[in-house]
Amino acid sequence: MAVQTLAGTQIQVTDDGYLEDMNQWNEDVAKEIAKEIGIELTDKHFEVINYLREKIKAGEALTIRKVGKSGIVDIKTLYKLFPKGPLKFSSKIAGIPKPTSCV
Amino acid sequence: MENQEKKPLEKVCMICAKGSLEDVYATLVMANGAVMEGIETKVFFTFFGLDGITKKSMNHLHTATTGNPAMRMPGGLPFPTMLGGLPGVESAVSGMMRKQMEELDMPPVDEFLEMITAGGGEIYACKLAIDMFKLKKEDLSDEVSDILTIGQFYEMCDGDRTQIIFT
């Protein structure tokens, strides 16, 4: 566990950079994490991110298949928005725990 | 001090030569997992593995109920081989496996192949096996990008951070 300063606030993160507490998240924090990964966030990104946060709050496990069926983006677009890490990077930017699913 | 620098995988090449439900799914889960990690992924289907990319059979794969020592009854008791040979038992067991996978959000094979190619993974069929089973390109899933010889596939497996996995 470590403390990182993101968007001017001290935030608890795991060793691989996922937020410890999803309530410490805000859009500026998201933008800063995204920048580190090399992603410029658009409205579409935020739609996905907000969807992921809602699902995690509801206690549901996430898979790219579920995101693909959400009506927000298809899987191909999800890969375009978050290249090389459709679930990993989107979860990190959304301030939710590292995904534990294999699909 | 030893050099501790990590050298992450850059490319995974998989060869699937078996056509049972669990063999094909093992390949698909590993391939999709690699794509999701941003690893370049290529999958080569050969021999009975072709069932996993043949339109007619890919969504109706079966699991072996005889000759499978890991097979258990739903409560965990051993599964008698004699039972596995009875009519209808194998399809019931395969159906049950598919249902349990669906609960874990594992898609049917056709959709799984689409997920892999959506992320840039590539699917190939073995020329020799295609000829042997008298199949044509049209018989295969639209996600199959080409029919190759094993030599052509190996040529794609270059790079010093590449692994070949045989399932």
For residue A75, being part of any structural domain is answered with yes
Which residues of chain B lie closer than 8 angstroms to A75, CB-CB?
114-115, 118-119
How many domains, chain B?
Answer: 2
Question: In terms of domains, do B94 and B19 share one?
Answer: no
Question: Are B147 and B118 in contact, with CB atoms under 8 Å apart?
Answer: no
Query: 0.90 cut: is pTM over it?
Result: yes
Give the whole-angstrom CA distance, residue B164 versus residue B158. Answer: 10
For residue A102, being part of any structural domain is answered with no
For residue A11, being part of any structural domain is answered with yes
Average pLDDT over residues B85-98: 92
We report the CATH number of the domain holding residue B49 as 3.40.1260.10
For residue B1, being part of any structural domain is answered with no
For residue B4, being part of any structural domain is answered with no
The residues, ordered by sequence, that sit 6+ positions from B166 with a Cβ below 8 Å of its Cβ are B14, B15, B17
Question: In terms of domains, do B25 and B86 share one?
Answer: no
- For residue B100, give its domain range: 64-106
- Compute CA distances A58 → A39, A62, A90, A97, whole Å: 27, 11, 17, 14
Q: What is the CA radius of gyration of chain B?
A: 18
What per-residue confidence (pLDDT) applies to B3? Answer: 67
For residue A99, being part of any structural domain is answered with no
Question: In terms of domains, do B93 and B157 share one?
Answer: no
Q: Which of A93-102, B1-10, B47-56 has the lowest mean pLDDT?
A: B1-10
Chain segment A86-101, per-residue pLDDT in tens: 999 999 999 999 998 8
How many domains, chain A?
Answer: 1
What per-residue confidence (pLDDT) applies to B6? Answer: 86
What per-residue confidence (pLDDT) applies to B2? Answer: 62
A103 and B119 within 8 Å at the Cβ level: the answer is no
B36 and A87 within 8 Å at the Cβ level: the answer is yes
Question: Are A25 and A19 in contact, with CB atoms under 8 Å apart?
Answer: yes
For residue A56, being part of any structural domain is answered with yes
| pLDDT of B1 over the 60 cut | no
Other beta carbons less than 10 A from residue A96's beta carbon: 20
A65 touches chain B (CB under 8 A): yes
- Complex-level ipTM beyond the 0.95 threshold: no
Higher per-residue pLDDT: B29 or A9: B29
Helix (H, G, I), strand (E, B) or coil at A71: coil
pLDDT band for B58, please (50, 70, 90 cuts).
very high
What per-residue confidence (pLDDT) applies to B68? Answer: 87
Min Cα separation A39/chain B (Å): 15
- Give catalytic status of residue A74 as yes or no: no
- For residue A67, give its domain range: 2-94
What per-residue confidence (pLDDT) applies to A53? Answer: 97
For residue A103, being part of any structural domain is answered with no
Q: Say what angle helices B109-118 and B21-36 make with each other, to 10 degrees.
A: 20
For residue B5, being part of any structural domain is answered with no
Which residues of chain B lie closer than 8 angstroms to A101, CB-CB?
105
Q: What is the CA radius of gyration of chain A?
A: 13
Question: In terms of domains, do B55 and B19 share one?
Answer: yes
Chain segment A42-60, per-residue pLDDT in tens: 999 999 999 999 999 999 9
Question: In terms of domains, do B161 and B93 share one?
Answer: no
For residue B35, being part of any structural domain is answered with yes
Question: Are B71 and B79 in contact, with CB atoms under 8 Å apart?
Answer: yes
A88 and B115 within 8 Å at the Cβ level: the answer is no
Question: In terms of domains, do B158 and B118 share one?
Answer: yes
Min Cα separation A63/chain B (Å): 7
Nearest-CA residue of chain A relative to B39? Answer: A84
Give the whole-angstrom CA distance, residue B164 versus residue B43. Answer: 10
